[in-house]
Amino acid sequence: MKIEVAFPNLSFQRMVHLAHSGADGTRLFLVLQPGEIVVFDNDSDVASTDTFLDIRGRVNDQGNEEGLLGLAFDPAYETNGYFYVYYSAAGPRRSVISRFSVSSDDPGRADPSSELTIMEVEQPYSNHNGGSLSFGPDGYLYVGLGDGGLRGDPHGNGQDRSTLLGAILRIDVTEVGAEGGYAIPPDNPFAGQGENARGEVWAYGLRNPWRLSFDRETGDLWVGDVGQNRFEEVDLISPGLNYGWNVMEATHCFGEGLGLSELLRQGEENCERQGLEPPVVEYGRDGGCSITGGYVYRGVRLPALRGAYIYGDFCSGKIWALRHDGERVVEHRLIAATRQQIPAFGEGPSGELYILTFSGQIYRLEPD
């Protein structure tokens, strides 16, 4: 397949997410890492944008992986006007999840003074922020958090269920009070287990989940988890499972500081794999160096891709499609080699997919 520019008259810097509100399929909302959300008509001829939210004064984007990273519209946005963002803040360094409201005077703009803080998570380093937000079909808010950063997970956060880092969280924001906050769904796998496990954790053992998404038809939760030295992975997330980091990097034992030959000789078989959930798919450095999770395609423009999970790599610009029958991968193929830096994919209201790039353009797939 090839890619073509979806909105030729628009160009943006540091795009990290594209969303729709669900209530209005005529507009798309684009998240810019420095701290803005812009909105524009879902029309290939569109030539202008409006500012939906500008919180650059609150966002810390000094680190390459810090900034305004996530956006999710409340399932009842059409009636309550609520949406949620994930951003990095400083003093102290932390990740913030907040709720904002649309302006009562202008439905095309948010009210920046309406912020209610839902959650704050201390971040020891500037990288591996994760940053995905998405409401599941159950109405709960899911959050992707990286292991805290640096390299090799020096604090062991990935395997520590008593921290929120290195995990997918599931929280209830339906009863947010005047001071913010959230509730823990009682059926979360570690709810009520005391100090040894945080009740918010839905799944753990993740290094840097860079983009999570739900299949709009099946409800399956997909994650692209960025590897370190050798392997990238795609995970299908189930409650309570341990996805291996930092014991494993994809399906391979992780050995920080070991040379490749020494790792292959000593470390490859010398770790405890029992209880660790393997990825659906992995690839090595021949495919790229930083996975970008995508979406299961449910649009109509590309019928050959319907039902396939589409994902890519930031470094190589390659894009793949994989199919999973619930038990195993039945198809996995390279569908495009774009040579673009791809930080994120976006999904439109009808299930069509968009490809965000650091070249400034938004693309979409087209048959050759």
Question: What topology is assigned to 2-366 in CATH?
Answer: Neuraminidase (2.120.10)
- Residue 244: band (very low, low, confident or very high) from pLDDT cuts 50, 70, 90: very high
Confidence of residue 23 (pLDDT cuts 50, 70, 90): low
Question: How many CB atoms sit inside 10 A of residue 241's CB?
Answer: 18
Tell me what the pLDDT averaged over the chain comes to. Answer: 94
At 279 the pLDDT is 98
Whether the per-residue pLDDT at 263 is higher than 60: the answer is no
pLDDT at 198: 97
Comparing 6-10, 253-257, 308-312, the range with the smallest average pLDDT is 253-257
- Please measure the distance between the N-terminal and C-terminal CA atoms of the chain and give it in whole angstroms: 5
Given a contact cutoff of 8 angstroms between Cβ atoms, the answer to whether 86 and 69 are in contact is: yes
Query: Using 50, 70 and 90 to split pLDDT, how confident is the model at 256?
Result: low
pLDDT in tens, 266-300: 455 678 899 999 999 999 999 999 999 999 999 99
What's the average model confidence in pLDDT over 150-161? 96
In this predicted model, which residue has the larger pLDDT, 96 or 260? 96
Rounded average pLDDT over 63-82:
96
At residue 24, does pLDDT exceed 80? Answer: no
Q: Which residues are CB-contacts of 270 (< 8 A; sequence separation ≥ 6)?
A: 253
Two tokens, residue 283: 């690839």
* Predicted local confidence at residue 270, as pLDDT: 75
Question: Is a pLDDT exceeding 80 seen at residue 21?
Answer: yes
How does pLDDT run across 178-237, given as a tens digit for each residue? 888 999 999 999 999 988 999 999 999 999 999 999 999 999 999 999 999 899 999 999
Query: Which of 43-47, 106-110, 144-148, 258-262 shows the lowest per-residue confidence on average (mean pLDDT)?
Result: 258-262
Q: Give the model confidence (pLDDT) of 354-364 as tens digits.
A: 999 999 999 99
Percent of the chain with pLDDT over 90: 89
Percent of the chain's residues with pLDDT above 70 = 96
With tokens 């790229």, the residue in question is 288
CB distance 43 to 28 below 8 Å: no
SS (H, E, C) 294-316: EEECCCCCCHHHCCCEEEEECCC
Q: Which helix (H) or strand (E) holds 262?
A: helix 260-262
| Model confidence at 306: pLDDT above 50 | yes
Three-class DSSP category at 101: strand
Going by pLDDT thresholds of 50, 70 and 90, the confidence category of residue 255 is confident
